[in-house]
Structure 1
Amino acid sequence: MLLSVGTANAAGPTTNTNVPPPDESTGGTDGKGGLSASVSHIRIKYVSGGDGGGKRGNVATLDPNWKPPACWYEPEFTPAQLKTFVDTDGGGDVGIHESWWGKELWTDHYKDGKPADNFDLSSPTNSSAAGYENYNLGKNGYFWRGVAPDVGDPDSWDCGRIMFWVDAGQTPNDPNMPTPKTLAEYAYDKIKVPETEVELRPAAKSTVNLPTWVWLDKGTFQEVKVRAALPNTGLWAETTAKPVALHLDPGTTDATTYPASGDCTINGDGSIGTPYEASRASDPPPCGITYLRATDGTPYQLRASVTWEITWQGSDGTGGDLPNGTLETTQDIDVQEIQSVNR
């Protein structure tokens, strides 16, 4: 049975219901034998900061208007690889919102030179893509296809071309061609940093009106650098996350934070705050909390979040800043009230 999804009429991002679920693909790139538009060949490698112990998590951007790229194009097949794919499979995503099921659909366009529709919504009717002769065997280059980490993102419809040819050493003449910044932003969404479990003194229980000191040793939080590379293009980018501040939320309004903003800056040696000393137990700490009311059996939820400054450098000499990110960790805090008797 032959099924061409989306080639006859274009539907809008919110009305199209013909996109098959990922587990229906039957090609060779999604780990299940399917050619899937949600699977990228970008390779992520930790250059530094990725080998520390403890739990880790993805940073959340502090800029509500920023998000990683919704779609781009990348190399998928050489001519010989495409021929093998069609001969042995012939099913999967030929575009982000267009799937071809059955060998004939692929041979018509990539072997027999017949034109086919893109699914790009660029006009009332889809644009047409010229066909290829015999999979371009004998030519040096790659067939490129659209990739969208989230095919449900309306912006993923910006990459509506079906798989197309690009000569070796070149990149597509398309607004959604990949760039080092594309890779840097993709890496932002993949980078993992240590969770923020801070050191507290007193450790067992805090006491009403007695400062609780908070700090992080300099070895706990170090910058994390990841490299994202797109094979067969020479494109790469390194994205670096550097800790710059710790924010404390005591979990109750009956508390005083130090500093008053709750923002503890990074010291010159990479540490945060100052380790507790018994001789200074009653002093206001550089970074800490004084609880003004005891818990009643239900601990306060101390939320500690580290702000990470994100920068990047690319293979073409470009680079710059990306929005700061944060990762928050919650800790239980019991607060006791010391009773005194006057005689």
Structure 2
Amino acid sequence: MAHADGPGDDTTAPSKPSPPAGNVNNQDLSAAVSRIKVTQVSGPTGGNGGNISSTDVNWEPPPCWYEPAFTPEQLKEFSETNYPLGDVSPHTAWGGERLWTDHYRDGKEAYSYEDGALVSHEGYENYNIGKDGYFWRGVARDTGDPDSYDCERVMFWQDADEVPDAPNAPTPETLAAYAYDKIKVPDTKIELKPEAKSTVNAPTWVWLDKGTFKEVKVRAELPNTGLWAETTAKPIALHLEPGTDDAETFPSSGDCEINDDGSIGTPYKTGDAGKTPPCGIRYLRATNGEPYELSASVTWEINWEGAGGTGGDLPNGTFETTQDMNVQEIQSINR
């Protein structure tokens, strides 16, 4: 367990023991998990789909940030009820009433590791009862990420309607990136002609009907801060990978742009057999019992707007699905 008595004591909690039977502490308050509220504003809400992947391999959402966790009254009830066991930072837990009451009720110092150093923090009198504000605590997207240790400051006070002036304090862009991580887009189920079996050297037409893909908007709000952001993903292109080197794509890049009406490519119609599709594939070799895996990935353009007139762009995202393609070779007989 972690201790708050002084620099000589252990201040980390590599693992959390189970609380004793009868513990009635609020687990939502005791665990250092994000309280960001996420709502899908527009886009599909059912069916199959998944999260997009950033096209920028070096981009990731923020590893950690600070959030309001307790009111003075909530902290008093938590600290003085049975066996208080909870997090004071993403990687540090305190167990036992004395640790909480010493620092947050009786004004004694507490210590936390920040940037590799042990830092002392002044205590509080009676949980700041009577004051308007919240005790803030660090949360991490992934506690296994080494950068998540950047938010190890022991839980601290911040007046109401204020955001801490500290590194890793949340911003609208923090919430925009958090929402990016929650965007769910539909499967890329493309229309094909021929549908199940193509023919060597004959083009396969590929298209998506108008309205199949619509923009997806996700809103993220951090309660008790006034901070919010809406992140919007807009489909802009379809990329085809035939699943074999023995094939050609149309266009040659494999990138089929989205038309002005929201469709991709052009639906096949009678009489188009000898034409080159604006979006499609020509297979040059037949499959021999093992189908090719045709990969279709949609590129999504990401932008956001947030509290205080903020906004901007985030890296494009992609979502990929695959489907089997069988290719036959038609034999002709010369007489």
Length-normalised TM-score, structure 2: 0.93
Distance in 2 separating the partners of 1:277 and 1:325: 32
Residue pair 1:6, 1:99 contacting (<8 A) in 2 also:
no
Distance in 2 separating the partners of 1:9 and 1:253: 64
Aligned-pair identity in percent equals 63
Change (3 A) 1:236 1:132: same
Partner of 2:93: 99
Partner of 1:59: 52
Deviations 1:217-273 (A, max 9, x none): 121100000100000011100000000000000000000000000000010001111
| Cα shift at 1:122 | 4.9
Partner of 2:15: 20
| 2:162 equivalent to 1:170 | yes
Give the unaligned 5+ runs of structure 1.
none
| Cα shift at 1:29 | 4.3
Partner of 2:187: 195
| Cα shift at 1:214 | 0.5
Change (3 A) 1:127 1:254: same
Residue pair 1:3, 1:102 contacting (<8 A) in 2 also:
no
Residue pair 1:73, 1:147 contacting (<8 A) in 2 also:
yes
| 2:48 equivalent to 1:50 | no
Matched ranges for 1:59-78 at <5 A: 59-78=52-71
Give the unaligned 5+ runs of structure 2.
none
Distance in 1 separating the partners of 2:314 and 2:17: 31
Residue pair 1:247, 1:305 contacting (<8 A) in 2 also:
yes
Residue pair 2:241, 2:296 contacting (<8 A) in 1 also:
yes
Look up the SS of the partner of 1:233 in the other structure: coil
Residue pair 1:219, 1:271 contacting (<8 A) in 2 also:
yes
Matched ranges for 1:166-315 at <5 A: 166-315=158-307
Residue pair 2:2, 2:92 contacting (<8 A) in 1 also:
no
| Cα shift at 1:73 | 0.4
| Cα shift at 1:175 | 1.5
Residue pair 1:218, 1:270 contacting (<8 A) in 2 also:
yes
Distance in 1 separating the partners of 2:90 and 2:255: 43
| 2:31 equivalent to 1:4 | no
Deviations 1:196-229 (A, max 9, x none): 1111110121111110000111211000001000
Look up the SS of the partner of 2:282 in the other structure: strand
Change (3 A) 1:230 1:17: closer
Cα root mean square deviation, aligned: 2.2
Change (3 A) 1:10 1:115: closer
Residue pair 1:312, 1:320 contacting (<8 A) in 2 also:
yes
Distance in 2 separating the partners of 1:24 and 1:247: 52
Distance in 1 separating the partners of 2:52 and 2:17: 26
Change (3 A) 1:235 1:17: closer
Partner of 1:83: 76
Distance in 2 separating the partners of 1:184 and 1:136: 32
Q: 316, 320, 324: which one pairs with 2:308?
A: 316
Deviations 1:264-284 (A, max 9, x none): 001000111110112101211
Residue pair 1:10, 1:119 contacting (<8 A) in 2 also:
no
